[in-house]
Amino acid sequence: MCGIIGYIGKNEALPVLLNGLKKLEYRGYDSAGVALLNGSLEVFKKLGKVSELEEFVKSKNLKGNIGIGHTRWATHGEPSDVNAHPHQSQSGIFSVVHNGIIENYSQLKNELREHGFEFQSETDTEVLANLIEYFYNQNDEVTAEIAVQLALSKVVGAYGIAVLCSREDDKLIVARRGSPLVIGLGDGEYYVASDASPVAGITSQVVYLNDNDMAIIQRNNFTLKNLENNPVSLTITNLDMKIGEMDKGEFEHYMLKEIYEQPQTIEETFKGRLNPDYPDIVLGGLINVFPRIAQAEKIVIVACGTSWHAALIAEYLFEEYARVPVEVEYASEFRYRKPVLGKTDVVIFISQSGETADTLAALRLAKELGALTLGICNVVGSSLARETEAGVFTHAGVEIGVASTKAFTAQVTVLTLFAVKLAKMKGTIGEEEYRELVRELADIPARERLILESNEHIKQIAAKYKDAVNALYLGRGMLFPVALEGALKLKEISYIHAEGYAAGEMKHGPIALIDDNLPVVVIAPRDAYYEKIMSNIQEVKARKGNVIAVITEGDTALKEMASDVIEIPRSHPAVAPLLAVVPLQLLAYHIAVMRGCNVDQPRNLAKSVTVE
Ligand code: AGP
């Protein structure tokens, strides 16, 4: 997913742009560039890291206090200098940075060619730059902002853009449809970015653009309008992101920092919601819709990736405790099929970023069908947070590592609070069971801290299996989705092929894979499935498989049986996923580091998939 930064104000723009691009690196990218407006437009862009761009522009003595910058995650056209952003229009009047996809770019490109435009790159963004210039050249009445409006009216697809015009060198024009943009309000200066991380610590006042919004930003003010040129009301949001969240501290990688943050981020998630001495779980964001939720004929949960694994855990929780039918759907499937949904149904959308294109498209479909839409999201002001009818923020803080860890456990924490509260409201659990579940949840942070003490032990296990080519993860009940999550963590940061499976499925296929080259991670706490999972372990051992077992502390039987064990504290089954996942996060992390992988920015991946 690309990153956009823009600045207009009293200071030199270049340092602001470069620092902002560094704060956006976590989104994943292959090239970077900047454009500065200082009488004329100067553009510098190249394949590679922001640090290489910084080196490249150092000797250029670039001046100007209006500028835009971009980190590119290639969609149209391979990663290269010429395909990097910013893209200029043919005459060089306009410079554009863009996050998103213009689906009708080839038709627009052909039409522009008929009007004499030539192209340097393979990108859809250069088409947009020339389309803006085309309209700008129609007559002298057309200003830069009108030209942008006219061009965007022809675009099919998603965009977040920032535009500079060398003939109107006192303004920065931004617009969005489908790809987020935020404006940071400074003192006589304005910042624009794809998300709030570059402005955290600089300003706490931000404006999130909505779809079809456009802003014309000048040094001392800005106008917000829509693409039909009508004024749009302004909502200033107070940013609760702290600058400290943006650095790694004593950790080598953001991912490790975020794994270690989980006990306190879960405590943050509890704040104002769970207090063992207080009779009720409070989910303020759902207060007005709980009656409708309690009447729901079914709950559908829609998400992608790790968030989808949280949804699978929620299915067990809601059905077991609140006795409500639950269906879990991949957003990328849900959005294209014809789901049977109506006013009596509730659809929960889970998304760390709140900007995942498939999840947002599924949300819009569910709203059209009349269902009650709820969001469980980690980013205040995100599209998902603003477009769902109600929801719960996970409060995990900024998650920089592409591989989601603390956001996942925060999602599962919220979903557990939600299921337990709903069960109590519906009377499907008694007071005693309710109080036990509340106590068990409240103990999670302390128990996770104990698990983190096994980090060195887990690192030693990682060293034994870092050269594996494949891996199998097994779990039963709510620990089956945890097996899926453990496998995803390993594959996405170490590039080892890993599969998660319901342990009961072994005999239906995966057992054919077992040999002494295949590490098999089995989540085997002392729960209702214990005997069954123990026989799965024996089946693996009988075929010379190496078993890494996540076990309840003190389980001597499994210590004997498994090749390696990682102990976790005993807990209630309803909260076991929040404990069992931590060793799997650490195992994946250490294996990836030992393999020399880019843990925080794995190849081909983006932190938020804002395109299809
Ligand atoms: C998880 O480690 C991955 N980065 C990815 O699967 C992610 O969970 C997925 O893209 C969904 O993102 P979201 O939660 O921001 O919607």
Active site residue 2: yes
Residue in 23, 49, 489, 607 annotated catalytic: 607
Residue in 2, 165, 304, 597 annotated catalytic: 2
pLDDT in tens, 324-381: 999 999 999 999 999 999 999 999 999 999 999 999 999 999 999 999 999 999 988 7
Contact 193, 6 (CB under 8 A): yes
Mutate to test the pocket of ligand 1, among 73, 356, 600 (most ligand atoms within 8 A of CB): 356
pLDDT of 544 reads 93
Tell me, yes or no, if the pTM score tops 0.75: yes
Rounded CA gap, 494 and 366, in Å? Answer: 36
290 Cβ contact partners less than 8 Å away, ≥ 6 residues apart: 283, 422, 425
404 has a pLDDT exceeding 80: yes
The lowest-confidence range among 86-100, 378-392, 435-449 is 378-392
pLDDT in tens, 564-578: 999 999 999 999 999
Mutate to test the pocket of ligand 1, among 581, 609, 610 (most ligand atoms within 8 A of CB): 609
Find where tokens 């089956």 sit.
480
Mean of the per-residue pLDDT values of the chain = 93
pLDDT of 195 reads 86
CA of 67 to the centre of ligand 1 (A): 31
Closest ligand 1 atom to residue 606 Cα is 4
CA of 219 to the centre of ligand 1 (A): 37
Mutate to test the pocket of ligand 1, among 259, 304, 351, 379 (most ligand atoms within 8 A of CB): 304
Q: Which residues of 9-18 are buried (b: 16+ CB within 10 A; e: fewer)?
A: beebbbebbb
Q: How many helices (H) and strands (E) does the chain have?
A: 19, 24
| Mean pLDDT, rounded, for 52-64 | 90
CA–CA–CA angle 24, 160, 220 (5° rounding): 85
Closest ligand 1 atom to residue 404 Cα is 2
Closest ligand 1 atom to residue 331 Cα is 16
In the structure, which protein residues have their CB atom closer than 6 angstroms to any atom of ligand 1? 304-307, 351-353, 356, 359, 402-404, 492, 608-609
Contact 300, 329 (CB under 8 A): yes
Rounded CA gap, 223 and 329, in Å? Answer: 40
CA of 504 to the centre of ligand 1 (A): 27
Closest ligand 1 atom to residue 411 Cα is 14
CA of 407 to the centre of ligand 1 (A): 9
| Mean pLDDT, rounded, for 524-536 | 97
CA of 289 to the centre of ligand 1 (A): 27
Rounded CA gap, 440 and 443, in Å? Answer: 5
What 3-state DSSP class applies to 34? Answer: strand
Write the residue with the smallest CA distance to atom 4 of ligand 1.
403
Closest ligand 1 atom to residue 384 Cα is 16
Write the residue with the smallest CA distance to atom 10 of ligand 1.
305
CA of 609 to the centre of ligand 1 (A): 8
Active site residue 377: no
pLDDT of 606 reads 83
Rounded CA gap, 394 and 408, in Å? Answer: 9
